Structure 1
Amino acid sequence: MATPDFIRAVRATAGHQLLFLPGVTAVVFDDAGRVLLARRADTGKWSLIGGIPEPGEQPAATAVREVQEETAVECVVERVVLVETLPTVTYPNGDQCQYMDTCFRCRAVGGQARVNDDESLEVGWFPVDALPPLREGERFRIKQALTEAPTWFATTSH
């Protein structure tokens, strides 16, 4: 994910110290029940769509915006799937971040899936029984999004 300008401004004075940031993940399904994934430019790995809210932006609006910006797919948010604080990440430049992720189940309502910015190498729809390699946390998000279970909340720290 590209670093938003407001984070760059904070980093100018905070240096590499740990920042606790909000994040969102969108599990987007089409009418055929396939899930939308993007192969990230920074890691080369397939991933769900996600990002950081801009100051004042609501998390659900962030999910819709990120999906459109990265994949050209228009979607609507249906429900919150899970809320979880993720482990600390140290980026190659030394920046440290920890994200509190709000994951949303979304439904595609328009657009054609394609690479729509410089954050992705490929974008595509995948049947849930034929997913490319994904991190375990992303597989869990997809599994939870497929159920009608209540919102899942992490109860232990990483």
Structure 2
Amino acid sequence: MAIPDFVVSLRSKIGTDPLWLSGVTAVITRGTEILLVQRADNLKGTPVTGIIDPGEHPAVAGAREALEEANVVVTPTKLALVAVTSPVTYENGDVTQYLDLTFHFDWVSGDPYPTDGENVQARWFELDDLPQMSQEMRGRISAALSDDPAAAFSF
């Protein structure tokens, strides 16, 4: 997985100690379809996700990640969910926990394919025929597809 330069810099100072980061999940729809990627590191299906760069607006980060990871141009329609993940320990021993901001995005253009090596697949799925994925990711998708205009909070 590509590690942002600012995280590499922080890691040079704190080692593998827990690091709090802001992340974004981009739930992208096109009509009755949703764009999902299959991650290269664990082969699990998810919406597009990524780390928000320092000073970057979260919705801009989601659109950037969609273009970088799946070659699609998107526009945000709503902030759907604010959540905190459980701590994640990576193979190298780094410990990270994320404030995740899940957005719904509408597809604008582009044919999806994995562009940056973080994913092995990027493709459209019918909303009523999603592949197996974690309950956490299903919850993010459900929040993004909800008709409720207010963001949900996961505790």
Q: Same fold (TM over 0.5)?
A: yes
Structure 1 residue runs of 4 or more that deviate by more than 2 Å after TM superposition:
none
Residue type of the alignment partner of 1:28: I
Kindly state the Cα deviation for residue 114 of structure 1 after the two structures are TM-superposed: 1.1
Say whether residues 1:27 and 2:27 are aligned partners.
yes
Percent of aligned positions that are identical: 38
**Counterparts of 1:33 and 1:107, CA distance in 2:** 11
**Counterparts of 1:18 and 1:125, CA distance in 2:** 35
1:75: which partner in 2?
74
1:140: which partner in 2?
139
**Counterparts of 2:93 and 2:146, CA distance in 1:** 38
**Counterparts of 2:111 and 2:95, CA distance in 1:** 35
1:2: which partner in 2?
2
TM-score, length-normalised on structure 1?
0.94
**Counterparts of 1:130 and 1:89, CA distance in 2:** 29
Give secondary structure in 2 for the equivalent of 1:44: coil
Cα distance per residue 1:17-48 (max 9 Å; x no partner): 00111000000001x32111111111111111
**Counterparts of 1:33 and 1:71, CA distance in 2:** 18
Cα distance per residue 1:58-90 (max 9 Å; x no partner): 100000000000011100000001001110000
Between 69-78 and 48-57, report the one with greater CA deviation. Answer: 48-57
Runs of 5+ unmatched residues, structure 1: none
**Counterparts of 2:24 and 2:40, CA distance in 1:** 19
Residue type of the alignment partner of 1:117: D
1:103: which partner in 2?
102
Kindly state the Cα deviation for residue 145 of structure 1 after the two structures are TM-superposed: 1.5
Residue type of the alignment partner of 1:62: A
2:18: which partner in 1?
18
**Length, aligned pairs only:** 154
**Counterparts of 1:133 and 1:147, CA distance in 2:** 20
Kindly state the Cα deviation for residue 142 of structure 1 after the two structures are TM-superposed: 1.2
Runs of 5+ unmatched residues, structure 2: none
Give secondary structure in 2 for the equivalent of 1:10: helix
**Counterparts of 2:141 and 2:32, CA distance in 1:** 11
